[in-house]
Structure 1
């Protein structure tokens, strides 16, 4: 009886081992790559932080870089406390106001025959500027003169008659009534002559008014009437406007709290200096002196109007111009430092004082008056001491600093003793074996 045969099983070593799933292999490869990247970043960071700084470099290893901070050094700006005259000033916005502004108006009507000035010209007091046709006024003057001469002749005749009547009255040859009547006639004619003289003077004044002259010295503006036009007496527009330029005033306002101090200085006879600046406060237009204060406080602003006078020789101040005014109240002799050097802490104002060993000390000070740039220190600081002006936010008591502009202490140069020197390392050893010697 035949039995079914079982196929022979191949040896175990002829079958390859089962392969892992593809997804598991990719996972392990990704993890390995991530570990290599992390290790590379960590090594690069350690090298950048720990490598010695190159001489004169300003990067990570140079002054102010992470290498410097890692060594406890902070680059700061500094200034020396100094004894100086500190002016106490008051700044305000002012308006240039001329002492006199005159509108040239014709005082008699007529035809404007001549204009003898140039627009924008500086004219002198009494200078002839324009003429009006004077012929009608000259005729009126002659008429007044004729009337006066006629009445004077009548007066003379009446006086002669009165003298004769008085002689006859002494001889009792005439009635006293006739003498009194003649005396009254003489007085009447005397009054008429006085009226004639007044009319003649008025006519002469009108003739003079046909010549328009400058009442003040100043700068004349634009002409409003051309020659040949008829002008009327006291017209609203006028012919031109003259503005006095030298000297000139500047009007500004001061806080009411400053009024007692200004009055005290003014009462002592000390002239208060005033400077006028342009809009940007970069150019000084002119220097003058304080003049006076107004007599009332403006309740809407809490200020008092004030005036300062300037000679304005160069005509740098122009009427109605807006300027920045700086009034100097007094001058203090004190120790001053830049405004940026003073900071405020829980115990009040303080500064960082730089010692000779380049360590900083936090020192409490007392502030005084200040300007835009400097502040007075009344206590806590001596002249010549160095204070921190920039970079103080990164400091604390005892911090070491490096001053701006100082050359940092350099470590060993990489080119002199590093791997490129050729005296050590595998590359240098191979050059020596090959007889090449160290590289140049």
Structure 2
């Protein structure tokens, strides 16, 4: 099988600061009825995404169905559960309103870092917006990429930590309010680590692996323990040694022990 290859090598990679954060709506709007009356219709379900102008509910005034007011979404976002039910009396002064709309495009993630690490973050912020990534259970493929919006320079009382808020466009709705994610923030430092092109990494139900090519030009599965991803490279914690040759393109046709023919030149999936 013809394949493209690359070599595992020790490379200079950036150091990342890690923290667990919580996604929160960038804005929450309480929708209230502009008139007093009886709630006669609810046109949404909890968690539904609505657009500005969508019909949410109807309220009948003193003259019953001859005096009906449409309640429409004032903004796009995700609606919460209805604190009200059909038949309830509502008014403009209701504290809870009819429903809340959480804006999730963009969405924010609130997290904290120890004060000892904040200096590196502040130094990076002096150069402009600081790119950050949010990860779920899959520590290799990021759920979302965004930027650090601002930092609270005050420590949390007695905790020795500073709060940070990152913003993500979230156009694909990968993040939702209340979700816990692992945040990676680049520090103002680098280190040397064994790394391979991300294109060489495959995933199965058992975890991550790659195909390593031996001198006899056969491909063998090598399970991997991976670290952080930087652009098109991923740090390898366990599974490979410097100089090991791995397949970066053509893995779809391979099985354990497949004979391969190495194609000379850079792989389409790498920058090498």
Bin for the TM-score computed over the shorter chain: 0.5 to 0.7
Shift of 1:292: 0.9
What TM-score, normalized to structure 1?
Answer: 0.39
Shift of 1:326: 0.9
- Are the structure 2 counterparts of residues 81 and 318 from structure 1 closer, same or farther at C-alpha, using a change threshold of 3 Å? closer
The corresponding residue for 1:349 is none
Aligned equivalent of 1:322, options 166, 180, 192: 180
Q: How far apart, CA to CA, are the structure 2 residues paired with 1:259 and 1:107?
A: 46
Pairing partner for 2:155 from 297, 303, 307: 297
Flag the structure with larger Rg: 1
TM superposition shift of 1:288: 1.1
> Are residues 272 and 101 of structure 1, via their aligned partners in 2, closer, same or farther at CA, if it must alter by over 3 Å?
same
Cα gap change, 1:385 to 1:287, in 2 (>3 Å): closer
Closer/same/farther in 2, CA of residues 226 and 299 from structure 1, 3 Å limit: closer
Cα deviation code 1:308-331 (max 9, x no counterpart) = 111112212110111111112246
TM-score (norm 2): 0.61
Aligned partner of residue 104 in structure 2, secondary structure:
coil
1:217, 1:244 within 8 Å by CA — same for their partners in 2?
Answer: yes
Corresponding position of 2:139: 281
Partner of 2:80: 221
Contact 1:279 1:322 in 2 (8 A): no
Q: Does 1:230 align with 2:89?
A: yes
- Unaligned ranges ≥5, structure 1: 1-79, 140-206, 339-370, 376-383, 387-440
CA gap 1:118/1:299 in 2 versus in 1, 3 angstroms:
closer
Aligned-pair distance for 1:111? 1.4
The 5 A counterparts of 1:244-255 are 244-255=103-114
Matched, 1:260 2:119: yes
Looking at secondary structure, tell me which structure has more helix per residue. Answer: 1
Which among 42, 50, 60 is matched to residue 115 of structure 1?
42
**Larger RCO, structures 1/2 (Cα 8 Å, 6+ apart):** 2
1:87 matched to 2:14? The reply is yes
Partner Cα distance (1:125, 1:85) in 2: 48
- Specify the SS of the correspondent of 1:245: strand
Q: Is the 8 A contact 2:10 2:194 kept in 1?
A: no
* Residue aligning to 2:208: none
Matches within 5 A, 1:19-418: 82-134=9-61, 210-269=69-128, 271-279=129-137, 281=139, 283-330=141-188, 332=190, 335-337=192-194
| Pair 1:235–1:274, CA change in 2 (3 A) | same
The answer as to whether partners of 1:273 and 1:327 remain within 8 angstroms in 2 is yes
| Separation in structure 2 between the aligned mates of residue 95 and residue 119 of structure 1, nearest angstrom | 20
- How many residues are aligned here? 196
Q: Secondary structure at the match of 1:318?
A: coil
Specify the SS of the correspondent of 1:251: strand
Alpha-carbon separation, structure 2, partners of 1:126 and 1:288: 28
Give yes or no for contact 1:290–1:308 (8 Å, CA) kept in 2: yes
- Which SS does the other structure have where 1:281 is aligned? coil
CA distance in 2, matches of 1:82, 1:281: 21
Note the C-alpha offset of 1:122.
Answer: 1.7
